[in-house]
Structure 1
Amino acid sequence: MSKSDNFLKDIISHFNIEGDVIGISKFGSGHINDTYRVDLENSATSFLLQRINHHVFPKIDVLMNNIRLVTEHLRQLFLSLGKDPQKHTLTIVPCKDGKLYHEDEEHNYWRIFYLIENVKSYDIVETPQQAFSAGQAFGQFQKQLSTLDAQQIEPVLPNFHNIDFRLSNLKKAIQEDKKGRVKEVEDLIQFIEQRENKMRTILDMGEKGLLPIRITHNDTKFNNVLLDENDNVQCVIDLDTVMPGYVAYDFGDAIRTIINPAAEDEKDLSKITLNLPLFQAYAEGYLSEAKDFLTKEEIESLFYGVLLLPYMQAVRFLTDYIDGDTYYKIHYINHNLVRTRTQIKLVDELEKHEVELKNILNNFAPISIS
């Protein structure tokens, strides 16, 4: 084995795994954590070794305890249904000392999960069946966790979907105007300011006690759903961002990533359009599961989540552009500005189709959305 493999083999030795390691290889396309597939001699079971990015997730104990609580809850549910939990939820492999992660000498943090085999994942939703399965997966995920006390789960990224926090950061950036860029984005600032009250709808409903705090995924990209060979739901993965929140955040973030066929940094705004069949399929899949536990007000909040998440992403991109591109990686000078305009065009398209989108939701919701 190479020096790198020997280093990783030493890391693996701290975990409760029996058998000789015969293979370690890079795995997946994640941007946050480093992930490796681990194969053992004479074993049909493989594992995923991950280095946790502690710069993104500094509270390692909180992070891993959240995942433990969620996966143990899901494990019991799948057992009660006669299903193999290791095929339907992540399973943590503890260290030999009982901890859920290992800290190496360089203060990097490592964890191991069982590898779920014979599954597929896609980066982009291409068919209504896939969109339906994605909606079903996250609706089921929320429904299953609705019976776990959300107060047990701690925020790993405070204010992650708090629009007041994001707007406050934008206003601070505008006031400081470090790079003298405010004058060239006044039209974008005006667009955002005109919608501030509307985009507070979910927060307002929550502050009035109309929306319960649920356990939500907070990163509902399609590639965080594992499907079986028939593109049916098998497992929701990437649980690092599981936190207390409102269900509309998950719904809106999923729609943001599937409804627009163009790239997040598409320069030609005429390509920013809405794929309504995919919206319909996702909404149908999601509500087929979630309608069993959602309140009337939560269902009404879903459309506002659809508007809020691209709006919030526009706020974040614009903030970073005004600040001098310090947070998001850019590939050219105006990259964050292009991203901002793309998200704002998406918000504009969603607003123009508000009636149509609400009618689609009404087709599958147990109540009528006004």
Structure 2
Amino acid sequence: MSGFAIRGWCPDAWHPMAAGDGLLVRVRPRLGRLNRKQVLGLCDAALTFGNGMIDLTRRANFQLRGVSEAEWPALIARLVELELVEADPVLEKKRNLLVAPIWQEADDTARIAAELIARLGELPELPGKVGFVIDAGPVPVLPGEAGDFRIERAAGGSLILRAQGRTAGAEVTAGAEVDRLIAMARWFAENGGPEAGRMSRFTAELPEWAQGSLLPARGSCPLQPGPTSTGAAWGVPFGQISALALARLITDPAATALRTTPWRLLIVEGAAFAPVEGLVDDPADPLLRVDACPGAPSCPQASVETRALARRIAPQVTGRLHVSGCAKRCAATGRADVTLIGREGRYDLSGEGRERLALGRDKVLALFGAG
């Protein structure tokens, strides 16, 4: 790995990103699912080659933290062995897809996603953040999640191909969905899309076969902690969990696999729902309404700590809270009712009529009655 460049791109396993606690190595589970062996192997790898902390990202991926440059090659070999990372770095970069997490074996979502993964080699080179969304269940669950090229259920029940930024899509026949996704990706790559960076910023007229007037069906609410059709779901505060805690989730004899979601929830197939230490089991828990980046010292860009402060003030905030360690505003999942942004060791506050600049931590706590 000597000589590799670390930039501010969206990382994958073959292109890690530097953080204050070491390298971030992203793992993209196929169809957002890991079997028991893969979960335990991932946890062992996080403890052996990293600092034992694992992030759950907004793309339903995992990030192993605290990996050193010296340990990275052995980690990659282990992840490839577990079939969590493609052995070909080019294919791994292309495997950027978000799948509706409550899929059933051989349903439309699983079928389309599996075929797209099998045909990654047919995709052109795309900007690092460009990705696919497969949301082909009876009711869409990912309408609020970013994705440039989408297969979704239409209001009338058919499947549509829709480009991000367009309100409507074109109907696709069963079995042709992946052909259309690949064709749209090639059209984007060949007609100036990479210069725009994302489909939502690309204003060129779509090819005729991608134009349509079918609207996606009305989406359902994201999952909440509790029983699911496949097992049980728990919230992960700030999207971070220790490898030991993650391993404990799968040690239940009834648990067969783990599914990731873009909502900082983990689903354990076959598990019965019950409180789990360190995870959120109450849908009303204020931590489910908090977005907070790792902050200082985990991120070299941050000048303030974030998550301990967020825990203190979250119960006092009505609505959504976002705490960012710097002006990049990382970790945001949408509009926040209260925002705290780190700047030179202090916090700028906006929301709920409390517009203040350069507040010390104690002052922030006092303002929210959490001192």
TM-score range, shorter chain: under 0.3
With normalisation by structure 2, the TM-score equals 0.24
Structure with greater proportional strand content: 2
Greater relative contact order (Cα 8 A, min sep 6): structure 1 or 2? 1
